[in-house]
Amino acid sequence: MMRLRISSLLIAVVLLLSVVLPTTAQVYPLKNAPTLTYWMNVNTAWSNRFKTLGDTTFGLELAKRTGVNVVYTHPVPAQFDQSFNLMLASGDLPDLIQNNFLTKIPGGPDKAIKDGYLLRLNEAIAKWAPNLTAYLKAHPEVDKLVKSDEGNYYAFPFIRTDPYLMTYQGPIVRQDWLDELKLPVPVTIDDWTVMLKAFKEKKGATAPFAMAPYWGPTNAAWQSPAFVGAYGTLKNWYIDNGKVKFGPSDTQYKEFLKLFAGWYKAGLIDPNFALSDAKQRDAIYVAGMSGATVANIGGGIGYLVKLMEKVDPKARFVAAPYPVLKKSDKPEFGQMDLPFTGVAIAISAKTKNLETAVRYLDYGYSPDGAMFYNFGTPGVSYNMVGGYPTYTDFIMKNAKLSLQEAMGEHIRGSSDGPFLQDKRYAEQYFLLPEQKAAATLWSSTNAAKHLFPNLSPDKADIAEMSKIMSEVNTYVDEAFIKFVIGAEPVENFDKYLATLKQLKIDRAIAIYQKSYDDFLKR
């Protein structure tokens, strides 16, 4: 009897204390936390050596630190979208789901909440996620992006905390060829034409400008703001002085088509561009058939230099600025992400462990957790050197693993997830001076003025929007390739615009304009 009373008294005191003193130090590791299930994409940085993220050093340590065991499910990368849709259709949902909830769920997050897939997290975040709440309070511009149109929090966002992390892609050319041909790094479109011609004629390149995909199967280099941006439009949605615009329905778009059609006819573009995949892309470079493309800093410049090391050790790649028409112009468009692009971890409506899930996800936004997500364990993957978290040689100069692989095993800073991404990760990830220069060069554009925010139209308009855009996108892709390869002469551009009208592109623009106006009022 007595024993029981003392122990219950003790429990009461502990409970009282935990209510009175809710410091983060006491939150983690969580006590007696149930196991969570987590559905997310794989990352090639670890997926060829580990079955799930939970098996990596990072995953094991995270479980220890948070006190939460997580069972991960990873769909096959090539069937990512289908697996996601099938999972939703089956109604058999894990606790945590990671995806881009702005682009991958037609109708957007608000509809997903209404349809009963995801939970609205406003109350739960206020109650159990003090770290995320604090960050969003301190950064209202990010808060605006993270919230849905209807003011719902629907997920724990992957947040890039510095502009340095938001620009990572642009045109690159082979420096050693430029040197040999005594050409400058191209600035204007005309420079580009001259350079590509020289590559073809003097270097024997059969695909001077390669357009194979660098960052996913559908986003080939022609989707990039480079080139099309020089004519004052984009391959996608953008904002121009408060007006929503759809690039492929702009009249300037014709000039861009003319350029590419001309290049294609002159043999300056990879003739198989529409079908090339990553394997063919590598083959093109190894064979010395190409000297320019659009690429990422890490997976592009770094990757290509490494790839060429064996075949042509002289090969060097340098970033070129986003091309312009006149030398004095500042590029109007360039690749630039928002701090939050929609990649986030949502909690499914099927969860029975809401509090644990929220607390677990909140860890990455705490000072301690953010350090762990970005840099791993002190003494193992990084050391503090003069206040700067410096990766150890184990990460930077691992004899067995590439930098990407070593990072994939120990941190999540080099991919995405529920945390605040740190600039200091990227500063060390970009090893080559060319890479460091690229980030600065590519970010000197006016892209920020045209950034298209995460919009989710009204419920009534969503179905119409997705119906219109699925036809429009098919048509735009198809027409682009036909114009470029000359199957359709560019003179027929007016017919193309008329077809877009027939597909109700104006209505789609109007719907987005309305939600953009709402966004500004958020």
Partner 1 sequence: MPGKPKRLLNKNSLGWDLVQNKSLYLLMIPVLAYYLLFHYLPMYGAVMAFQDYSPMKGLFGSDFIGLQNFFDFFDSYYFWRIFGNTLIISFLSLAFEFTTPILLALMINELRSQKLSSVVKTVSVFPHFISLVIVCGMVKDFTSMNGIFNEIFKLFGYDGLSMLQKPELFRPIYIISGIWQNIGWDSIIYIAALMAIDQTLYEAAEIDGAGRWQQLWKVTIPCILPTIVVMFILRVGNIMNVGFEKIILLYNPINYETADVISSFVYRKGLIDFQWSYAAAVGLFNSVINLGLLLVANRLSKKVTQSSLW
Q: Which residues bind partner 1 (CB under 8 A)?
A: 81-82, 85-86, 88-91, 105-107, 115-117, 271-272, 274-275, 280, 349, 463, 466-467, 470-471, 474-475, 477-478, 481-482, 485, 487, 499, 502-503
- Cα–Cα dist 454/343, whole Å: 11
Residue placing its CB nearer to partner 1 in the complex, 85 or 440: 85
Q: Which pair of structure tokens corresponds to residue 83?
A: 């697996």
Distance of CA 426 to the CA centre of its chain: 14
Task: Sort 326 into a burial class: Cβ within 10 Å, 0-12 / 13-18 / 19+.
Answer: exposed
Residue placing its CB nearer to partner 1 in the complex, 259 or 462: 462
Contact 186, 320 (CB under 8 A): yes
Neighbours of 267 (CB within 10 A): 16
Residue placing its CB nearer to partner 1 in the complex, 7 or 272: 272
- Cα–Cα dist 493/436, whole Å: 40
Sort strands 388-391 and 382-385 into parallel, antiparallel or unpaired. Answer: antiparallel
E strand or H helix at 157, and its extent? Answer: strand 156-157
Residue placing its CB nearer to partner 1 in the complex, 447 or 505: 505
Min. distance of Cβ 248 from partner 1 in angstroms? 13
Residue placing its CB nearer to partner 1 in the complex, 183 or 274: 274
Min. distance of Cβ 88 from partner 1 in angstroms? 6
Min. distance of Cβ 285 from partner 1 in angstroms? 15
Which residues, other chains included, contact 234 with Cβ-Cβ below 8 Å and sequence gap of 6+?
A: 225, 228, 247, 333, 450
Residue placing its CB nearer to partner 1 in the complex, 78 or 138: 78
- Cα–Cα dist 132/365, whole Å: 6
Min. distance of Cβ 90 from partner 1 in angstroms? 8
Task: Report the DSSP beta bridge partners of residue 71.
Answer: 37
Contact 263, 478 (CB under 8 A): no
Min. distance of Cβ 5 from partner 1 in angstroms? 48
- Provide the Cα torsion 245, 257, 448, 194; round to 10°: -160
Min. distance of Cβ 456 from partner 1 in angstroms? 15
Residue placing its CB nearer to partner 1 in the complex, 127 or 459: 459
- Cα–Cα dist 32/47, whole Å: 30
Min. distance of Cβ 474 from partner 1 in angstroms? 7
Backbone dihedral angles phi then psi of residue 346, each to the nearest 5 degrees: -100, 160
- Cα–Cα dist 27/482, whole Å: 59
Residue placing its CB nearer to partner 1 in the complex, 183 or 349: 349
Min. distance of Cβ 481 from partner 1 in angstroms? 5
Min. distance of Cβ 485 from partner 1 in angstroms? 8
- Cα–Cα dist 63/356, whole Å: 13
DSSP secondary structure of 84-132: HHHHHHHT---SEEEEETTTSSTTHHHHHHHTTSB---HHHHHHH-HHH
Min. distance of Cβ 459 from partner 1 in angstroms? 11
Neighbours of 460 (CB within 10 A): 9
- In eight-state DSSP terms, residue 378 is B
Residue placing its CB nearer to partner 1 in the complex, 267 or 299: 267
Min. distance of Cβ 437 from partner 1 in angstroms? 34
Residue placing its CB nearer to partner 1 in the complex, 180 or 277: 277
Contact 30, 360 (CB under 8 A): yes
Which residues, other chains included, contact 408 with Cβ-Cβ below 8 Å and sequence gap of 6+?
A: 43, 44, 45, 46, 56, 414, 415
Min. distance of Cβ 487 from partner 1 in angstroms? 8
- Cα–Cα dist 285/307, whole Å: 8
Residue placing its CB nearer to partner 1 in the complex, 74 or 467: 467
Residue placing its CB nearer to partner 1 in the complex, 397 or 495: 495
